[in-house]
Amino acid sequence: MGRILIVDDHDSLRKGLVKALSNAGHDVEDAPNGTGAIERLQGGQFDVVLTDLRMGGADGMDVLRTARSVQPDAAVILMTAFGSIHTAVEAMKMGAIDFVQKPFEIEEMELKIEKAIDLRHLKNQVDYLRHAQEDLYDVDRIVGGSGALKQVLGVVSKVARSNSTILIRGETGTGKELIAGAIHHNSMRANKAFVKVNCAALQENLLESELFGHEKGAFTSADKQRIGRFEQADGGSLFLDEVGDMSQSTQAKILRVLQEHEFERLGGTRTVRVDVRIITATNRNLSQMVQDGLFREDLFYRLNVVSLEMPPLRDRKDDIPALAEFFVHRFSAELKKRVDCIDPEAQKVLMRHHWPGNIRELENVVERAVLLTEGEAITTDDLQIGDQASAASGQRSIVVKIPPTGIPLEEIERQAVMEALKMSNWIQKDAANLLGISPRVMNYKIKILNIEIPGSRRHVPASMASDEGRRGSRAGTSGLARSRV
């Protein structure tokens, strides 16, 4: 139900409407002329303004103009007499959302009002979502404070406002699409479209039709004209995801848009000009693809004007706690659960995992855990990730590869200790736990194996280490270090 203002100098019609719409549950006010309506518009908020077009003094157009300026969200519907259709069309151009010709059935008017109110709610929702979306892309709200991420965000804030083409590289799930969105939403084009196309998802012809559109009859199933993504993105940004997966023909067409800002729709002869900023992403090695003749070199240089490398999650483990907490709160709200943290043991498991699927994998693990857990804190039992899953099924096997030239046992031990330390984020007690030794033995091994702990710099000078320790570290630089524990 909504708040409605009815404006008409025809008393009985106005009073009839007031009665009918009040009976339908709306909160209704009325004014007998344009001047009265303008006063009311300045006094309070309305969802719908229903106004006669021709009135003495200020007329319906004046009411419309005032409504547009003081209450731009109010929906204005005009009531017109026969013969004034031309003015009604003018009014629609000025922002009225509908008109109805007199005489009309009251049911018809009720329906139009319901529709106007629904539309207004929808618009509010869209505005809300757009706002929420902008929040998500707000550089300050991208979760994580690791040096690696900060470096990327630093470049983003420098280049976002320029028009440069940007290539975002990185493994799957590292946040390439999120960063592309952040670039657009922090650019001068933020209030224009941000259009995304996944180049790997479509075959050559379909991808070209998706990108450039087609004319009716361009191919068998083209039964009507279609506007492509480039045209949709005019004035805004186009995000080409998986850009390494395009055919040579598509590559040539993209190059032309980059160079000349123009193209033709498939099956068309008219040249379409666009102003689009291109942001691309790939998890493939494009420069290698150039060397292998799979990707055009000229296009590569055009796309690679600014290049961003999204660091894998295992290289920014500092971000894991904040990201995990962020996902816990998000999924807890989405799934209507009361989960609000991750217990310390489960945190350690998250820190130790290698995260080949990066942030998306973490997101999925946390979502599943929030769904499964019965308490308010996520425990190790709720986490189903690589090493947990294999530990649960009793799989604890590892592969030790010994090079043909041999390797000192001590070097294998050194690598095992290093791996355990890295998995434990360099917390010695936890690393000791992983290897089933006491913290004291771990401390001894670190000294004897000459292992440097980042940050604390607990490095034992070579002169103080035992002979064996030094031999170990020599082996580490002799090329044998490739062998993995």
Contacts with ligand ATP by CB under 6 A lie at 142-144, 170, 172-178, 283, 323, 326, 359-360, 363
Q: Give the list of residues 6+ apart from residue 443 with CB closer than 8 angstroms, or none.
A: 428
314 vs 471 by CB, closer to ligand ATP: 314
Instruction: Report the amino acid identity of residue 469.
Output: G
3-state secondary structure of 204: helix
171 forms part of the interface with Mg ion (CB under 5 A) = no
Residue pair 99/80 in contact (Cβ under 8 Å)? The answer is yes
Length of the chain: 485
Pairing mode of beta strands 306-309, 262-264: unpaired
3-state helix, strand, coil in the chain (%, to 5): 50, 15, 35
Gyration radius of the chain over CA positions: 33
Distance in Å, CB of 172 to ligand ATP, minimum = 4
> Which positions from 3 through 22 interact with Mg ion, judged by CB under 5 A?
none
Distance in Å, CB of 290 to Mg ion, minimum = 22
Task: Tell me the window of 177-185, 206-214, 369-377, 382-390 that interacts with Mg ion (CB under 5 A).
Answer: 177-185
Distance in Å, CB of 178 to Mg ion, minimum = 8
3-state secondary structure of 48: strand
Task: Tell me the window of 30-38, 169-177, 387-395, 455-463 that interacts with Mg ion (CB under 5 A).
Answer: 169-177
60 vs 175 by CB, closer to Mg ion: 175
137 vs 295 by CB, closer to ligand ATP: 137
- Indicate the DSSP class of residue 461: P
Distance in Å, CB of 152 to ligand ATP, minimum = 9
Distance in Å, CB of 364 to ligand ATP, minimum = 9
283 vs 483 by CB, closer to ligand ATP: 283
The separation between CA 141 and the C-alpha centre of its own chain, rounded to angstroms, equals 12
Task: Tell me the window of 82-90, 170-178, 207-215, 332-340 that interacts with Mg ion (CB under 5 A).
Answer: 170-178
* Single residue of 177, 309, 325, 419 touching Mg ion by CB under 5 A: 177
185 vs 414 by CB, closer to ligand ATP: 185
2 vs 170 by CB, closer to ligand ATP: 170
135 vs 297 by CB, closer to ligand ATP: 135
3-state secondary structure of 429: helix
> For residue 261, what are its two tokens?
């800002």
Distance in Å, CB of 166 to ligand ATP, minimum = 14
| Residue nearest to ligand ATP according to CB distances in the complex | 175
Straight-line distance from the first to the last Cα atom of the chain, in angstroms, rounded to the nearest whole number: 69
CA distances from 459 to 375, 428, 446, 449, 454 (A): 43, 14, 9, 10, 9
Distance in Å, CB of 320 to Mg ion, minimum = 20
179 vs 475 by CB, closer to ligand ATP: 179
In whole angstroms, give the CA distance from residue 469 to residue 329: 47
Distance in Å, CB of 199 to Mg ion, minimum = 11
The interface partner of residue 359, options being ligand ATP, Mg ion, none and the CB cut-off 5 to 8 Å by kind, is: ligand ATP
Of 287, 293, 288, 283, nearest to 242 by C-alpha is: 283
CA distances from 250 to 41, 208, 237, 263 (A): 55, 7, 18, 12
3-state secondary structure of 77: strand
List residues binding Mg ion (CB under 5 A).
177
